[in-house]
Structure 1
Amino acid sequence: MLERPGFIFFPGCRASAYLDIMQQLTMPPACIVLMQNPLAERGIQAASSHPLVQRFYQPDADIEAFCQQYNVPLYVSSAQSINDAELTKLLLRQGCRHWLFSGGGIVQPKVLATGLKFLHVHPGQMPEVRGSTCFYYSLLHDLTLAASAFFLEAELDAGPSILCRHFHINIPPALLSSDFIDYIVDPYIRAETLKPLWQHWPDISDVSKVAKLSTPPSDRPCYVMHPVLRAMAIQRVAASYNASNETGVFHYA
């Protein structure tokens, strides 16, 4: 049996979307460790200003109010990197082996070697679609969108997938932008993939499902993407809009 995970809250849209899922389910983590992210405000403001954001999640999460509501221990760290030595010591002191990861860099092998297990949700079908910009490449390649939950391993994007969920975007072209994709769609599909695992934890084997619907956009991980290709991906999503169907981002497999 797995203990209730702790939550490493790296301020930003992804962490806020995860907290929103916990609020919906009324299922808090064992504790929350709050990191620092001086760049968080850009994404939070971009998400908050979009007219459709309330359909997806609350980007301006009040972490202190959440902890008070559910009596969750909150530990504040000065760390801006997931690999900060003091942060690792803080995590180890809490007694949680499993932690929900929400950003702060690439977890280094020395941190994984401590025995801590980091649950991560990747914005692509694993292992076929890898890399930080892979969902843009998938949208451009075959108009698919997915997220996969797995436990981090030393090799980047290499852990066996626990659950993969696929999504379809149907948004009016006038409301589509890179900000919408980066700060609303990306955190939302990660949170929606996390949701069944969080709801059924520790019996995650009961919800494990690895659907294979995306084809690899490249034989290499997808990282840097030229702005022109990014615009082309958004244009492809815009061209797929069907005004007769409901507006939103929908899980379909």
Structure 2
Amino acid sequence: MRNICVKVSYDGAGFNGFQTQPYGRTVQGEIEKAIKKLTGETTIIIGSGRTDAGVHAQGQMFNFYTESTIPTERWAIALNTRLPKDIVIIEAYDVPEHFHARRSAKRKTYRYTIDTGKFPDVFGRQYRFHHPTPLNVDAMREGLRFLVGKHDFTSFTSIHSTKPHHVRTIYEADFVQEGPIVHMYITGNGFLYNMVRVIMGTLLWVGEGKMASSEIKSILEGRNRSLAGPTAMPHGLMLLDVEYSSEKQG
């Protein structure tokens, strides 16, 4: 039995999220169908995490077990010929039997993108949240700094979160502005359900002048979802990267 780790990118617009659902098209469902077509095996892939409906990924990771003798270097091409055009396998490599794409992950990086231009970009609109009025990005950056470090992020996750605790560590977080395009990059050891989108929705209030950047600290300490802002739209969010130990041992 082999354990194979795979890096995949996908346009989330046409999916009901990454994880298999009773209804709707999912990334996991399409990949598992492709593996079955290729090998005849019924497989359940293990994702590094879930992405919600409409959220994109440039570097999602998953692993799966197979009895297939297909050479590792052939998996990406073989699966891509059996996948829809909005899913692309980037690479595949062998990992130890105990490797687990979610539990072995050390760092994850997300990007949320806002377009502050007067009109949406017809070619980029599906990957950017259009906000046609000015934002105070410096104030948003100041608010974001309160979230760096190890904290209880109860205020910044969905009330439907099923995790046993909401303590996570944010290693790095910043805003980068490129003309009318504003990117928020955030890297942590893990993220809760809707966490990045709630952070972004709250910081939009800061950018609009509805809230002072210093209030982010009290919202964090309050540990109550009702204190934070709305959940930002999913299409502006992208999972950029998932990092493992250098030996890929998990």
Q: Which has the larger radius of gyration?
A: 2
Greater share of residues in strand: 2
TM-score (norm 1): 0.24
Greater share of residues in helix: 1
TM-score (norm 2): 0.24
